[in-house]
A = this chain, B = another copy of it.
Amino acid sequence: MASRIGTRTIRLDRPPRVIAHAGLAGKKESEGPLQSVFDRTFADTTFGEKGWEKAEQTLLRMTLGCALQKAKLPPSALDLICAGDLENQCTASSFAFEDSGAPFCGLYGACSTMALALAVAALAVETGTCRLAAAATGSHFCTAERQFRKPLEYGGQRTPTAQWTVTGAGAAILAANGDETDPKITAVQFGTITDLGITDGANMGAAMAPAAARTIADFLRDTNTKPGDYDLILTGDLGFIGSELLLELLRREDIDLTAVHNDCGKMIFDRERQDVHAGGSGCGCSASVLCSHIFDEIRRGRYRKVLFVATGALLSATSALQGETIPGIAHAVLLERGETEERA
């Protein structure tokens, strides 16, 4: 049974297994430091479609398809698809999975969606209500630019704090049982919205860092653990500036994350060579990195215990134009190597 520990953390006593996963990415991502880890990369980021929104749908559908193929399952075998994305009204997910024939739980957590989807899917499987559940999300640079910022054709300059939306997607298939190398989800925490008053939509790392700090501090306190107990505490896409802020915010609470922290927004691009300013962002950033590189490293035994904390900036183009602040959220998922001793 799932049970509550501390104030906010949910321990999964029958931890679901990630039986298959896939991370797909676009051209720029394929030229970065993680080029060799993705399941597939694409030089043509239209994916053969006429428009960017359709391209994003196709990428998301292919990514879940790739994970399902590894698990040798059709989409209709899924008891639940948990998914969401950055497009207005989450249309990338709705259109990507409209022909799946599987029940669908639409989620919105901005760039935190991969952790949110894993949390909901893990709860559904742990309770025995779903035998197989999928978590999936993605993003596309070109849809995000024109929806949140400027049309690509405008060729606008980017500020030094701006992050680069990843063209990529990740999908994971969860089941109650699996092989011994299949990563386990042993705890989850739904984040609490945190808003310290940042209004600069070109500095989302700063807007999300306080939410990440809150979730990580809560998680460590609830589970009575310290950073050294983890091989990796991986934030979603704080990027270079948000990551520094996170370390500083936690230092004030006497938590030193330096030795175990990394961030998907820092890992996916080469800051010097790829002109991405503060790093990567977008739902697809943490999703594609987690569902390829991180899960693979857990399988190989390089990581035995990873706290995955995806972060989201809950703004819209409208709220930004209206001068509103940017609420941040960070959901946490604890991943452990499969053969780790089961909790009673």
In angstroms, Cα B91 to Cα A10, docked, is: 26
Complex contact B192–A102 (CB within 8 A): yes
A255 to chain B, nearest CB (A): 20
Complex contact B324–A95 (CB within 8 A): yes
**Does A225 belong to the interface (CB within 8 Å)?**
no
**Does A191 belong to the interface (CB within 8 Å)?**
yes
**Does A103 belong to the interface (CB within 8 Å)?**
yes
Complex contact A129–B88 (CB within 8 A): no
Q: How many residues of A contact B (CB 8 A)?
A: 62
Q: Which of B120, B322, B324 contacts A120 (CB 8 A)?
A: B120
A107-B106, A107-B108, A316-B89 known; A129-B322 Cβ under 8 A: no
- Of the listed stretches A1-9, A232-240, A263-271, chain B binds A1-9
In angstroms, Cα B147 to Cα A108, docked, is: 18
Q: Which residues of chain B are near A86, meaning CB under 8 Å?
A: 89
Interface residues of A in 36-79 (CB under 8 A from B): 51, 53-54, 79
Contact code string A6-17 (vs B, CB < 8 Å = 1, else 0): 001010000000
Closest to A51 in B: B322
A101-B192, A106-B107 known; A91-B129 Cβ under 8 A: no
Complex contact A193–B98 (CB within 8 A): yes
**Does A169 belong to the interface (CB within 8 Å)?**
no
Contact code string A89-101 (vs B, CB < 8 Å = 1, else 0): 1110011011111
In angstroms, Cα B104 to Cα A329, docked, is: 8
Complex contact B192–A91 (CB within 8 A): no
In angstroms, Cα B109 to Cα A94, docked, is: 9
Complex contact A129–B120 (CB within 8 A): no
